[in-house]
Amino acid sequence: MNNKSIIINKDYDPIIVNTIIKRYWWWPILFVSLFTSISYFVLRYTKPTYESSMIIQLGNKDNAKDIIEVENVNMKGEDISPDIELLRSQFLFEKAIQLINYNVSFYAKGQFLTEEKYNSSRFNVLPFELKDSSLIGIPIVVKYSKGSLNLLYSLNGQKYKLTSQLNKRIKNKHFDLTISSSNPKLFEEESKENELYFTLNSVSSVSARFLPYLQVVPIDPIAKTIQISLKSNNPQLCYDIASAVATAYNKYDEEIKRKGSENILAFIDQQLDSLSGELKNSKDSLMQYQRRSNLPDPEGISTQLSSNISKLQDQLFVVQDEVRSLNTVYSKLKSDPNRLDVYRILPEMLGKSYETSLNGQLTSLYELLEKKENLLYRVTEDNSEVKALGTKINLKLSSVRRSVATILERLIANSNVISKKIQSFEGEYFQLPEKKMEFSRLKNIQDLNEKYFTLLTEKKVLYSISNAGYSSENRVLTRATVNSTPVAPNKKLIYGSFIFFGFILGLGVILLKYLTFNEINMIDDLKKLLPTEASILGGVPLSKSPMEFSQLVVSESPKSMLAEAMRKIRTNLSYINPNYKTIAITSSISGEGKTFVALNLAGIIAMSGKKTILLDLDMRKPKVHLGLNADNVYGMSGLIINQFSLEQCIQHSLLENLDFITAGPIPPNPSELLLSGRFKEIVEKLKETYDTIIIDNPPIGLVSDGIKILTDADIPIYVFKSHYSKRNFAFRVKELFEMKQLDRLNVVLNGVRSSKHSNGYGYGYGYGYGYGYGYYESDSLSKKEKAVKGIKKIITIFSKNK
């Protein structure tokens, strides 16, 4: 059969929807039940995940700034990104792991799940020494029974077993440890119920295990609040690690600030120690010279010169000191400095003329170096962000070097100018007495040392006050908490998602069945699919009596719904062609009920008094003889080839006026027999004796040899079967019309299911003109319908009698 492409039902059809729902309503229930079961097992065998979170606020306060107007170098900026990256870093996480002393992990392995017994294990392990680091993370099974302790583990493909007792040291080439238990009895019971084992941890292994589940997110950058959260299968472990991260951060932050302050004060103290010695020597030299020269008051005529020289020497000293300090800074910047080098340079610029111009650049360089150092805790040197920071650092370093070189050149020029002026004034001093000149020289040295010593002392006091007034205000706003309810898996979400998905999948099946619905179930379907040249004779109700093959049933139940349907078709035949003699009945494929329709239509016509004969031309799969309980020896195949006579082949049925000729033995060439002239002669001969000739044609959807017989018949009938025939079969009928092989056709819908709400064109079949009032006996009614009908009759009789 030449089937067209699959039909897709794009339009809404409530009748098809009703059919699909009635037939496939259980699919959504099936999928919902299936996915509910799946979600149950997913939840049953998925480890619960707990989350512990806390909120901290970063802050610092400089109480001395309002008094001395000096900002502490430890003061943090508004950007909290470096602190967040530090909290996320492996460096800080490892410090946190060290705080909780998580050296050993304990596990209990059940039939399906493995539970970590953090702080709840029935036994403890005290590791003295780990001799082989490759044992880290390897499960060491512990079995305890009747006072005997056994350890089993595998390493590098080799199995090891050690036997010992509780509280005794166990040594081998891999480790040295002791296993103890506060309750050996419970330990032994749990050892029998589950497989207990432990693993030896390292800080790096624990960090690699839990760091991916650490989340550090800013809540309010302006308020500098940060949330720290950690997820794990053990709630207590979540709590301890989250708390340890915050503690480790505070300790590290305080340690860094303390070291920075100590380094700056140590530098100032070192400079003061050096100057105090020089100041003492200068005072001693001046005093000794005065005693030796007997020069108590050198002031006099040379007061003005001395004053000028003193001022110039002061300026020269400051310039030379700045040159010396700047040379120190420049030398430290020649090689690539680290963050600590830049940090130590800052005190060199205290009170210098270039402090303002260089302080900002060095601070920016320090922040870039600090950011790179924090980033290296998490990534390697090859990381693109590290390289980008390195480029920024090199550019900033070049800028600082150029600034230092420019300032140094300017200071040297100033120093030369001042030196020349001093030389000029000193030239005038050569005319003064030698004692006065020496006194002035020593006095100037003393004054310079005193001024510089006083300057550094003031700086030390200011920085000490600033450092004392600075305080870190990092505080915990919300302490670490852990909820007894796991955050994952979410039971409501999983159940809801699985049930929703199952329901949608079930609806998808129903929708797919609707879109690909390809059955012909009612006469309205045929009207939509068949060409206008085809007329509808009617429908044949579905017989609920079990049949092995097509049978003649109208004679046995003349008042049944089936018999009335056949009478209606018989009546419609008279309207189509009142003088018909031949009726050819065919279908698309076997099983659509053409033989059943042929048998019962022949029977109903014979019951009307017309002499009728039924010819079985379906020689490939004959069934008429089965329906009439006759043999198939003498039939059409032998009659056409003149093997038998017409009288030998005609058989009489139990029904008056109904004769039949079976198909006979299956021939090798049925098509040639049907298209032969001998068949036409037989039909013409039968017309002389019979009023109606009904031909059971081969299905033309499979073979084409019956088309000629169908077109030659007075009334061609095409049979479709409800809930069996496909809509594609209607394309075959269209093809026959398009190819001009048919010019007329009559259609019967067989197997229409009865329904109390149906009409002649519905999914059921009723006739609507009084059959329900006892005109016929509906043997096609179900037991339930018969019971309802009987109850209604009893109520009616009871009402009348009353």
pLDDT tens per residue, range 658-676: 999 999 998 888 888 888 8
More confident: 199 or 367: 199
- Of 179-188, 201-210, 667-676, least confident by mean pLDDT is 667-676
Asked if residue 348 lies in contact with residue 454, where contact means CB atoms within 8 angstroms, the answer is: no
What is the Cα–Cα distance from 720 to 520, expressed in whole angstroms? 8
DSSP state of 49: B
The token pair at 267 is 């530098």
- What per-residue confidence (pLDDT) applies to 501? 92
What is the Cα–Cα distance from 659 to 686, expressed in whole angstroms? 11
List C-alpha distances in Å: 748 to 418, 565, 571, 586, 719. Answer: 127, 10, 13, 10, 5
How would residue 758 be classed by pLDDT, with cut points 50, 70 and 90?
very low
- What per-residue confidence (pLDDT) applies to 657? 92
- Residue 261 one-letter amino acid: S
Strands of 582-587's sheet, edge to edge?
534-541, 745-752, 715-721, 582-587, 692-696, 612-616, 658-661, 651-652
Q: What is the mean pLDDT of residues 446-468?
A: 75
Distance from chain centroid for Cα 590 = 51
Q: What is the mean pLDDT of residues 674-696?
A: 91
What is the Cα–Cα distance from 553 to 614, expressed in whole angstroms? 15
- What per-residue confidence (pLDDT) applies to 228? 92
* Tokens 């609920």 found at: 544
Closest to 244 in 3D by CA, of 103, 100, 105? 100
The 10s digit of each residue's pLDDT in 507-565 is 999 888 888 888 887 888 788 888 888 889 988 988 777 777 788 888 888 888 889 99
How would residue 212 be classed by pLDDT, with cut points 50, 70 and 90?
very high
How would residue 367 be classed by pLDDT, with cut points 50, 70 and 90?
confident
The 10s digit of each residue's pLDDT in 22-45 is 888 999 999 999 999 999 888 888
- Mean of pLDDT over the chain: 81
What is the Cα–Cα distance from 104 to 95, expressed in whole angstroms? 17
- What per-residue confidence (pLDDT) applies to 3? 46
What is the Cα–Cα distance from 289 to 310, expressed in whole angstroms? 19
In 648-771, at which residue ranges do the beta strands (DSSP E only) sit?
651-652, 658-661, 692-696, 715-721, 745-752
For the chain, the first-to-last Cα distance in angstroms comes to: 64
How would residue 181 be classed by pLDDT, with cut points 50, 70 and 90?
very high
Q: What is the mean pLDDT of residues 689-711?
A: 85
* Tokens 């061609």 found at: 716
- Of 217-226, 538-547, 706-715, least confident by mean pLDDT is 538-547
Residue 227 clears pLDDT 60, i.e. is over it:
yes
Residue 222 clears pLDDT 70, i.e. is over it:
yes
The 10s digit of each residue's pLDDT in 716-748 is 999 999 888 888 788 778 888 888 788 889 999
**Number of residues that make up the chain:** 802
Is residue 798 packed enough to be buried (19+ CB in 10 Å), middle (13-18) or exposed (0-12)? exposed
List C-alpha distances in Å: 507 to 17, 263, 266, 569. Answer: 12, 75, 79, 40
How would residue 9 be classed by pLDDT, with cut points 50, 70 and 90?
confident
The 10s digit of each residue's pLDDT in 568-615 is 999 999 898 999 999 999 998 888 889 999 999 999 999 999 999 999
More confident: 558 or 347: 558
CA neighbours within 13 Å on the CB side: how many for 475?
Answer: 7
**At a CB cut-off of 8 Å and minimum separation 6, what does 723 contact?**
519, 521, 751, 753
DSSP 3-state of 9: coil
Q: β-strands 225-232, 50-57: how paired? A: antiparallel
Asked if residue 82 lies in contact with residue 499, where contact means CB atoms within 8 angstroms, the answer is: no
Q: What is the mean pLDDT of residues 636-645?
A: 91
Is residue 165 packed enough to be buried (19+ CB in 10 Å), middle (13-18) or exposed (0-12)? exposed
The 10s digit of each residue's pLDDT in 113-122 is 888 999 889 9
Asked if residue 114 lies in contact with residue 211, where contact means CB atoms within 8 angstroms, the answer is: no
* Tokens 């001799």 found at: 131
How would residue 377 be classed by pLDDT, with cut points 50, 70 and 90?
confident
Q: β-strands 534-541, 745-752: how paired? A: parallel
More confident: 484 or 781: 484
DSSP state of 133: G
More confident: 468 or 20: 20
- What per-residue confidence (pLDDT) applies to 794? 44
- What per-residue confidence (pLDDT) applies to 755? 55
- Residue 199 one-letter amino acid: T
Residue 411 clears pLDDT 90, i.e. is over it:
no
The 10s digit of each residue's pLDDT in 84-106 is 998 999 999 999 999 998 999 99
List C-alpha distances in Å: 343 to 68, 219, 333, 639. Answer: 22, 31, 12, 121
More confident: 556 or 299: 556
- What per-residue confidence (pLDDT) applies to 432? 55
The token pair at 576 is 């189509």
Question: Please, which contacts does 511-515 make with residues 24 or more away whose CB atoms are closer than 8 Å?
Answer: 513/20, 513/23, 513/24, 514/9, 514/16, 514/17, 514/20, 515/8, 515/9, 515/10
- What per-residue confidence (pLDDT) applies to 293? 61
pTM over 0.85: no
DSSP state of 641: T
